[in-house]
Structure 1
Amino acid sequence: MTTTTTPEAEVLDRTALLRWTTAMALSGTIGAVVLESGAQAPAVAFARCLVGGVLLAIWCAARGWLRPAVLSGRDLGLAALGGVLLVGNWVLLFASYALSSISVSTVVYHTQPLLLVGLAAVLLREKVTRSHLGRAAVAFGGVVLISLGAHGTDGQPVNAGGVALALGAAVLYAGASLIAKQLSHVRPHLLAAIQLGVGTVLLAPALAFTPLPADPRGLLWLALLGAVHTAVMYVLMYSSIGRLPTTTVALLSYVYPVVAVIVDVLAYGHRVSVVEGAGMLAVLAAAMAPTRKR
């Protein structure tokens, strides 16, 4: 029996493809927005949580998803824990931009898919294949090359602390993803709104030490981060991910680091050395390699 694809289905697929690609391209410009805001990492993360959380809550309310008893106590607790990990991941990642560079931090951050498998093995007793161990070895060899060969805009070697922070951010994001897998029955827009709300409360006290920018320009950058790079981006991602093949989603996710490297080179004059470039390719190749059963 032959299955035909209707023009409407093709349009929907193209729409989902465009939305996911746009979301990944937006992700690649986050580093530039963070640096241009001039704010310190906790203040940036707070602004992202506040603006993005309010807008996503409005989105959920408009669709009738904010109802009493929509989540069990266990689900709410897991969502809150995921929010702590998600926000911690942002703080570490944003801090790493200033110590290394946008491109270095973003590529190192993309060890997260491999770290997720490792965490699943430790916490959920899932089996780790030889294929995964080999890919992890290649990826972390790439991280070492990046650490040794990367240079900042001043021509000096990149601070190893920035690489460490990006790796820490990847670990926290992998943990948040692991929790999200346990909450797959919860609408992702609602889950994101809850987690951003947790982040807003958690980070509010940090404003006493790392205040928001005093100049309107810095505040506008933070508003852009919360509105476009959080609320709009989450809607684009969640409205498209379920309508695309997993392989397509995985492949197009690497638009994110590619755009980040391009932005870093064009906007901030970052020069990719041969050793650093080899490390970046190793990390991305390991993360993009197809998963094998053994």
Structure 2
Amino acid sequence: MVAMNKNNPVLQWTAAMALSGTIGAVVLESGADAPAVAFARSLVGGLLLLVWSAARGWLRPWTLSRRDLLLAVLGGLFLVGNWVLLFASYSLSSIGVSTVVYHTQPLMLVGLAAAFLGEKMAKSQLVRALIAFGGVTLISLSAHGADGKPVRLAGIALALGAAALYAGASFVAKQLTHVRPHVLAAVQLVTGTIVLAPALLVTPLPTDTSGLLWLVLLGTVHTALMYVLMYASIGKLPTTTVALLSYVYPVVAVVVDVLAYGHRPTWPEGVGMLAVLAAALAPKRAEARQPARV
């Protein structure tokens, strides 16, 4: 599944981040509603990751304890819920705006760790959180969509909700560091498939071939392949490198938004985006190296 040089983790992580930045375009081009998109991503990506894990001998009856399985399912609920909210936010704001606002989630994770794990929040983290909040406020007040009209605050609210849910998924993952990440992701995606299946009664999958192919692309390339690239590289890279290369994700999303959908950031919006990214993605030496992607 990974054709890249296994000894080049920088290239693998960069490719994964670049793929992340194009997810919004794939979602919009599919023409499907957010729950249907999240279901398709879970189904296709989950099946492929199960096959990948089985082929490598990682699936055994004793792979997960009952506690691990319950936590993995809980994390899966958070994960797919975050996808639904984020995908829904794209059409209400823009790909670039939603993606940048979504990047407040590392700071939310810090807050969860402080509240539930007793980890101390450094003054620098509090300052970064305030800067990110100011950036989101600037974006909310000044961002415009492709039609030239102000973005809907509902779109930004959904992106923040997605960030909170992803922070929850990451918080759960911190309790499962002993579980192979490919297996954990597979369990979470299977959970998403089961939970989201009933939503197809209300938000069905596309009936046209084009829409279905976009969803297959999302599940194969932007989920299964992307997760394998991330997990193959992140443990081999310094935290600072991971943080710096993570800028590729929102930058690609903004570029795609500008080139493909005509989004033109105002200067206050640009300042707000830079504030959020600088606050959320600054290198964090004391934090564990975990992928914080969709």
Q: TM-score, normalised by structure 1?
A: 0.94
Indicate the SS of the match to 1:239: helix
Match of 1:248 among 241, 262, 268: 241
Name the counterpart of 1:234: 227
Contact 1:131 / 1:292 at 8 angstroms: preserved in 2?
A: no
Q: What amino acid does structure 1 have at the position aligned with 2:47?
A: V
Deviation at 1:124, TM superposition (A): 1.2
Q: After the TM superposition, which residues 60-75 of structure 1 pair with which residues of structure 2 at under 5 Å, given as runs?
A: 60-75=53-68
Match of 2:70 among 72, 77, 85: 77
Q: What amino acid does structure 2 have at the position aligned with 1:169?
A: A
Name the counterpart of 1:121: 114
Deviation at 1:129, TM superposition (A): 1.4
Match of 2:185 among 192, 199, 203: 192
The CA distance in 2 between the partners of 1:102 and 1:204, in whole Å, is 26
Deviation at 1:170, TM superposition (A): 0.4
Contact 2:49 / 2:182 at 8 angstroms: preserved in 1?
A: yes
Name the counterpart of 2:79: 86
Q: Does 1:50 align with 2:43?
A: yes
Structure 1, unmatched stretches of 5+, are: 1-10
The CA distance in 2 between the partners of 1:69 and 1:13, in whole Å, is 28
Match of 2:142 among 149, 170, 189: 149
Contact 2:239 / 2:284 at 8 angstroms: preserved in 1?
A: no
Q: Does 1:26 align with 2:19?
A: yes
Name the counterpart of 1:107: 100
Q: Does 1:217 align with 2:203?
A: no
Q: What amino acid does structure 2 have at the position aligned with 1:156?
A: K
Q: CA RMSD in A?
A: 1.4
Contact 2:136 / 2:272 at 8 angstroms: preserved in 1?
A: yes
Aligned length: 283
Q: Does 1:35 align with 2:28?
A: yes
The CA distance in 2 between the partners of 1:231 and 1:14, in whole Å, is 20
The CA distance in 2 between the partners of 1:225 and 1:292, in whole Å, is 32
Deviation at 1:288, TM superposition (A): 2.8
The CA distance in 1 between the partners of 2:6 and 2:41, in whole Å, is 30
Contact 2:239 / 2:285 at 8 angstroms: preserved in 1?
A: no
Indicate the SS of the match to 2:133: helix
Q: Give percent identity, aligned residues only.
A: 75
Deviation at 1:150, TM superposition (A): 0.3
Contact 2:244 / 2:283 at 8 angstroms: preserved in 1?
A: no
Deviation at 1:270, TM superposition (A): 0.2
Q: Does 1:281 align with 2:268?
A: no
Name the counterpart of 1:5: none
Name the counterpart of 1:208: 201
The CA distance in 2 between the partners of 1:66 and 1:14, in whole Å, is 25
Contact 2:53 / 2:182 at 8 angstroms: preserved in 1?
A: yes
Contact 2:244 / 2:282 at 8 angstroms: preserved in 1?
A: no
Q: What amino acid does structure 1 have at the position aligned with 2:267?
A: V
Contact 2:99 / 2:159 at 8 angstroms: preserved in 1?
A: yes
Q: 1:243-292: CA deviations, max 9, x gaps?
A: 11111011111100000000000000000101100100110111133448
Deviation at 1:130, TM superposition (A): 1.2
Indicate the SS of the match to 2:8: helix
Q: Does 1:164 align with 2:157?
A: yes
Structure 2, unmatched stretches of 5+, are: 287-294
Q: 1:142-172: CA deviations, max 9, x gaps?
A: 0000001100011100000000000000011
Q: 1:173-226: CA deviations, max 9, x gaps?
A: 011001111101101000000000000000000000000001000000000000
The CA distance in 2 between the partners of 1:188 and 1:53, in whole Å, is 13
